[in-house]
Copies of this chain bind each other. A is one copy, B any other.
Amino acid sequence: MSSTWGNNIRLSIFGGSHTGAIGVVLDNLPPKEKIDLDAVRVQMARRAPGRDKTATTRLEADAPQILSGFLDGVTTGAPLAAIIENTNTRSKDYSDLKIHPRPGHADYTAAIRYQGANDIRGGGHFSGRLTACLVFAGAVCRQILARRGVTIGAHAYAVGGVADTPFDPVSVSAAELNALNTRFFAVRDAAAEAKMRAEIERARLAADSVGGVIECAAVGVPAGVGSPMFGGIENVFASILYGIPAVKGVEFGAGFGVAAMRGSENNDPFYYDADGTVRTRTNHAGGILGGITTGMPIVFRIAMKPTPSIGVEQQTVDLEAKRDAPLTIHGRHDPCIVPRAIPVAEACAAIALMDLLR
């Protein structure tokens, strides 16, 4: 199965870059939950292209049209469905991509998987555009979660070789996350943002692209959420986060950093805070022990590969002539997907938590 997700809620995503529309269905949301559509649009706008030179100049309205599940300002409890029409699709001939698969893209693997019947226009169902559906769903879920005290925010942890200041996994607060989670290109350290923008601009001018890492935190999730083995927070989060195109790594808390640590360093000591709540002095666990939340902030990072669509000439194959062939990709592309992917990471966290807390 490709495009459905969830256990307690059920997410179904459809559409391709150049189909009539893309869309999303969210089943088993709690009923009677107010949804502020303006707040949804804020999240959609954060992901939409055309904001500045860090992103593709394509302009897409990304205006979600709700078809069902929402009435008089609240969820009805029936499946919430929305579509986003594809309005800015340049009509051109995509048949060349069927012959010359783009390196780093799914053109080749999709052709094998779907016997050549896949819609290759604009990447089809593999397009990053589908993440608009995740952002819509996440924007709905995060409003419901907010009323339960949960706040989610993310920032560009790294772009190319430039690093932002990481979250303090112990003290990261709702206020801090709220200051980030409506921004475009959310970065904690303004100096880092300038350097990241310069790094992206260098890649853009070189007709190239650059990768990065997004760090996301969720605060306010009570202790005791999640399950051991395959029902853990990490399993559930990773299973949706890897649905974001370009993600090649997911880590929680100290993540790959645990490899070089001693147990005496990595173990987070428990203590009672002034309110009588059990907390940990450090939070290398990223708020998760045995797959279950500790009540401390949930912190994770995802590695985003550099956009595969680049202007420089690349080597590929000619699947018709069955020989090697050079390829130059034209068109409008993101020199770095990280800024636009930040709200997508937050959205996935919101959907995952909605599923776990439902």
Contacts and interface: CB of A to CB of B under 8 A. Distances in A.
Contact of A249 (B110, B229, B255): B255
A254 interface: yes
Interface in A1-38: 1-5, 7-8, 10, 12-16, 19-23, 25, 27-28, 31-32
Contact of A109 (B286, B289, B307): B289
A209 B262 contact: yes
A267 B315 CA distance: 10
B240 A238 contact: no
A66 to B, nearest CB: 7
Given A125-B68, A270-B315, A229 B3 contact: yes
A157 B317 CA distance: 33
User: Which of A104, A225, A310 has the largest count of B CB atoms less than 10 A from its CB?
Assistant: A104
A18 to B, nearest CB: 9
A97 interface: no
Nearest to A307: B263
Interface stretch (A71-79, A142-150, A167-175): A71-79
A94 to B, nearest CB: 11
Contacts of A263: 104, 203, 208-211, 305-310
A65 interface: yes
A91 interface: no
13 contacts: A14-B68, A14-B79, A76-B125, A105-B289, A110-B228, A209-B264, A230-B242, A235-B240, A248-B258, A248-B286, A250-B250, A259-B303, A270-B316
A253 interface: yes
B230 A3 contact: yes
A10 B309 CA distance: 32
A228 B32 contact: no
Contacts of A254: 248, 305
Nearest to A103: B267
Given A267-B310, A267-B314, 17 more contacts: A1-B231, A3-B229, A12-B25, A13-B79, A22-B68, A76-B117, A77-B117, A83-B83, A103-B270, A113-B227, A208-B262, A210-B262, A211-B259, A257-B303, A269-B315, A269-B316, A272-B323
Contacts of A141: none
Contacts of A105: 289-290
Interface string A268-284: 11111000101011001
B32 A117 contact: yes
A76 B118 contact: yes
A245 interface: yes
Nearest to A301: B256
A209 B119 CA distance: 48
A63 interface: no
A16 to B, nearest CB: 6
A353 interface: no
B12 A27 contact: yes
A281 B6 CA distance: 37
A27 B10 contact: no
A31 B115 contact: yes
A7 to B, nearest CB: 7
Contacts of A319: 278
